[in-house]
């Protein structure tokens, strides 16, 4: 009988993926499910991306691509770093991966030894600790406080760092809270890192263009260029360009690390689909008007959803500064029973009851290391969001005292 490898024994399916699969299943059974579980833009990919993919076919570039990426895309990524982040990066410090997730996987596989610690501010995107654990890494959580806008405090990061720390993971704008780090906060973190020269930084900036109320994303490298030899920036076209299914992410970092990551990728998936690379290059080379229009829509939906959530007695909801998730707190409702009698013992039970009884798929905050909360993606249509908020209100109002 098949026995999974030991390293898989305690590895769960990421809660985001598991909830989305559950929602799909129930939908297929005819249930009127609204899925706000997966962070996935509801817009079509840009026309330019489609044309870019077709151009690859027409040019006959359908053979194995180079492992680090095709020249066209590597150069488009280098130009993107210059245009969006003011960073001059040679293509030798860039690689293209099968989504941002594979960039993270490559980096941890290329660098972690058994027992190496990975400091992750919580709430965090589910996959950082899970991937680190696959390679013997030990996640060390740094709890952020809602009163601090879910931003990690530099002193708390300093306290979490030991001689065994290999990585600090920063993901701002943050999934799931939408928190953004300001210059002063990045400077304070940079100071901590200068005292800990053995620590590398994984800066996942996949939501960089999704910032609201006129805010702009700053990269750690903008405030601390002296740390360039230990910062790995992760990004991709999925979120900003509505290209989740194309699976194109990229990483930019010190050459030796990129080389090691290329070695990992060369022994796993090899290079990324040439059509997808052509499409991603074309999207990156376009002007930003499409991205700006989508950002405007997300901002409008954020305002609508947060207002509706704040109108529900028993929920609290901070205003997300970026990304496309609302992250309401459930403290006042935990321990009570749903109208169908389900005990809402924690946010997992709450999300389960909400799915079964109100047919709304969300992700429990505890999957992001910070409960009791729920993550709701507002990258969904206005109609779905309005109906989901209506159902959620009814669900909460019917909770038994």
Binding site for ligand GLU (CB under 6 A): 14, 16-17, 38-39, 101, 125, 127, 175
Residue 5 CB burial class (10 angstroms; 0-12, 13-18, ≥19): exposed
Give the residue nearest to ligand GLU (CB): 39
Q: Which residue has the tokens 């910062």?
A: 231
Contact 266, 255 (CB under 8 A): no
Output the smallest distance, CB 20 to ligand GLU, in A.
Answer: 7
Smallest CA-to-CA distance from 209 within 102, 286, 307 is with 286
Output the smallest distance, CB 58 to ligand GLU, in A.
Answer: 30
User: How many whole angstroms separate alpha carbon 87 and alpha carbon 281?
Assistant: 18
Output the smallest distance, CB 125 to ligand GLU, in A.
Answer: 6
Output the smallest distance, CB 120 to ligand GLU, in A.
Answer: 15
User: How many whole angstroms separate alpha carbon 235 and alpha carbon 94?
Assistant: 11
User: How many whole angstroms separate alpha carbon 225 and alpha carbon 70?
Assistant: 27
Output the smallest distance, CB 239 to ligand GLU, in A.
Answer: 8
Using omega within 30 degrees of 0 as the cis cutoff, is the peptide bond preceding 262 cis?
A: no
Strands 231-236 and 165-170, by their bridges, are unpaired
Output the smallest distance, CB 152 to ligand GLU, in A.
Answer: 19
Of the pair 165, 362, the CB lying nearest ligand GLU is at 362
Output the smallest distance, CB 64 to ligand GLU, in A.
Answer: 24
Of the pair 127, 153, the CB lying nearest ligand GLU is at 127
User: How many whole angstroms separate alpha carbon 170 and alpha carbon 202?
Assistant: 6
Contact 367, 350 (CB under 8 A): no
Output the smallest distance, CB 186 to ligand GLU, in A.
Answer: 23
Output the 3-class SS for 37-96: CCCCCCCCCCHHHHHHHHHHHHCCCCCCCCCCCCHHHHHHHHHHHHHHHCCCCCHHHEEE
Of the pair 37, 399, the CB lying nearest ligand GLU is at 37
Of the pair 101, 166, the CB lying nearest ligand GLU is at 101
Of the pair 87, 210, the CB lying nearest ligand GLU is at 210
Of the pair 89, 264, the CB lying nearest ligand GLU is at 264
Of the pair 101, 301, the CB lying nearest ligand GLU is at 101
Half-sphere exposure of 218 (CA within 13 A, CB side): 15
Of the pair 207, 333, the CB lying nearest ligand GLU is at 207
Q: Which residue has the tokens 């080379």?
A: 285
Cβ contacts of 285 within 8 Å, gap of 6 or more: 48, 76, 79
């Amino acid at each position: 009988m098949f026995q999974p490898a030991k390293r898989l024994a305690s590895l769960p399916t990421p809660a985001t993926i598991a909830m989305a699969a559950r929602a799909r299943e129930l939908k297929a059974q005819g249930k009127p499910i609204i899925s706000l579980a997966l962070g996935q833009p509801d817009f079509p990919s840009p026309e330019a991306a489609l044309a870019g993919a077709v151009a690859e076919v027409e040019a006959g570039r359908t053979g194995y691509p180079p492992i680090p990426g095709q020249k066209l895309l590597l150069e488009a990524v280098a130009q993107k770093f210059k245009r969006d982040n003011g960073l001059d990066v040679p293509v030798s410090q860039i690689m293209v991966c099968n989504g941002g997730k594979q960039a993270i996987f490559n980096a941890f596989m290329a660098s972690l030894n058994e027992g190496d610690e990975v400091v992750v501010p919580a709430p965090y995107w589910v996959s950082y600790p899970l991937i680190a654990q696959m390679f013997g890494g030990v996640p060390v959580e740094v709890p952020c406080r809602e009163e601090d806008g879910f931003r990690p405090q530099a002193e708390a990061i300093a306290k979490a760092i030991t001689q065994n720390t290999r990585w600090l993971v920063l993901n701002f704008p943050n999934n799931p809270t939408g928190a953004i780090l300001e210059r002063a906060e990045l400077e304070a973190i940079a100071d901590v890192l200068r005292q800990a020269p053995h620590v590398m930084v994984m800066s996942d900036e996949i939501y960089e263009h999704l910032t609201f109320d006129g805010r702009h994303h700053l990269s750690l490298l903008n405030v601390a260029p002296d740390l360039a030899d230990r910062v790995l920036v992760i990004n991709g076209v999925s979120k900003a360009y509505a290209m989740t299914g194309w699976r194109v992410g990229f990483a930019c970092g010190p050459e030796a690390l990129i080389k090691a990551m290329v070695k990992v990728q060369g022994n796993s998936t090899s290079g990324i689909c040439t059509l997808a690379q052509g499409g991603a290059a074309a999207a990156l080379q376009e002007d930003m008007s499409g991205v700006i229009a989508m950002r405007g829509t997300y901002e409008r939906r954020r305002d609508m959803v947060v207002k509706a959530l704040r109108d529900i007695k028993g929920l609290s909801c901070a205003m997300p500064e970026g990304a496309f998730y609302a992250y309401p707190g459930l403290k006042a409702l935990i321990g009570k029973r749903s109208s169908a009698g389900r005990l809402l013992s924690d946010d997992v039970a709450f999300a389960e009851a909400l799915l079964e009884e109100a047919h709304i798929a969300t992700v429990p905050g505890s999957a992001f290391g910070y409960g009791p909360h729920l993550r709701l993606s507002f990258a969904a249509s206005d109609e779905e969001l309005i109906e989901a908020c209506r159902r959620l209100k009814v669900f909460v109002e019917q909770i038994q005292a």
